Amino acid sequence: MWPSFFGRLSHDLGIDLGTANTLVYAKNRGIIIQEPSVVAVNMRNGQVIAVGNDAKAMVGKTPPHILVTRPLQRGIIADFEVSEKMLKYFIDKIHHDTPKFMPRPRVVIGVPLDITEVERKAVGDAVISAGARKVHIVEEPVAAAVGIGLPISEPVGNMIVDFGGGTTEIAVISLNGVVTAKSVPIAGDELNKNIIQYARDVFNLLLGERVAEDVKIAAGSAVPLSEKIEVPLRGRDLLSGLPHEIMVNDGQIREALSRSIRSIIDHIKSILEVTPPELVADIYRRGIVISGGGSLLRGIDRAITEGTGLPVRVAEEPLTAVARGCGLLLENPGLLEDVTLPSTDKMA
């Protein structure tokens, strides 16, 4: 009786633990945290000195004894201890005004499609150590589909492409399960690297990662635009070693991104080729839904339509689809039980 009563009082959470950003959905409150998955650590004493936005502001600007790190790579925990501290920071931030007797939260968290059992256990253990009482792990495309409102429980084909920071998750979902899928290590971070490499090869200019990301947001596109966009590239000239600035346009940035965009479209086509024909017929009629930060790239929906011949739409609020889906699953125990991946001892 008492566990059930207090359980109803806990602030249960849905978490999108992404390579680039972490989003937290609180039951009955919506998205309450949306911050970069970045942590700054003082290497002299091992103390965490900043998390999220504060830590990201330090990228490329720290003295040698301060390490600014991303504890997740391709959506998978690369540094367990730092990931645990980051999660604890976010969970404590939500519960800072909660009475001590209140129970710890249940957590639903999204993970990439190709995560191994060991990596899945690391995610569960990190969340439990950060302050959760129980963890449910679901695949990110399934969570995103729930957050978007796709009818995944029905016998119809739902195709979703979730563009994250470290991976792009491509999946066809029917009857609460993933039928065909692929996790591709080409996503937002790779597009940033494309711009850095292009500036180096074409202009002998060394860019920082934050500058490349800002340029991608300001002028990135997948198809030609009706109006020209120009942005400055600021970095270090590799010949003189001095600071330098040049102006570039959307066409040049599009050229830098083109190979990665084509590769993602080829992977989408490869999934369609192995999808059962009945589901392909549904997808032809219903189209493809895209979510995640990468779906905000100008014209990416048109580029996929041109490459596949299928209708494509960008989800409403694509950045928060996975976190909202995790949160909605908390309110639907039957569906949560169907889509939760097998648990480990600590997560049960």
Q: Are 239 and 204 in contact (CB under 8 A)?
A: yes
Write down the CATH superfamily of domain 151-186+267-319. Answer: ATPase, nucleotide binding domain (3.30.420.40)
> Could you read off the pLDDT of 100-150 as tens digits, one per residue?
556 788 999 999 998 889 989 999 999 999 889 999 999 999 999 999 999
- Tell me the one-letter amino acid at 52: G
**In degrees rounded to 5, what are phi and psi of residue 76?**
-115, 140
Q: Helix, strand or coil for residue 249?
A: strand
**Exposure b/e, 172-206, CB count within 10 A at least 16 = b:** bbbebebbbbbbbebbbbbbbebbbebbeeebebe
Integer CA distances (angstroms), 286 to 85, 150, 175, 319, 337, in order = 42, 10, 16, 22, 27
Which residues of the chain are in CATH 3.90.640.10 domains? 188-256
> Could you read off the pLDDT of 196-244 as tens digits, one per residue?
999 999 999 999 999 999 999 999 999 999 999 999 999 999 999 999 9
Give the global pTM.
0.89
Integer CA distances (angstroms), 57 to 50, 61, 89, 222, in order = 10, 8, 17, 28
CATH tag, 2-143+321-339: 3.30.420.40
Class of domain 188-256: alpha beta
Structure token digits, residue 137: 């792990």
Which residues of the chain are in CATH 3.30.420.40 domains? 2-143+321-339, 151-186+267-319
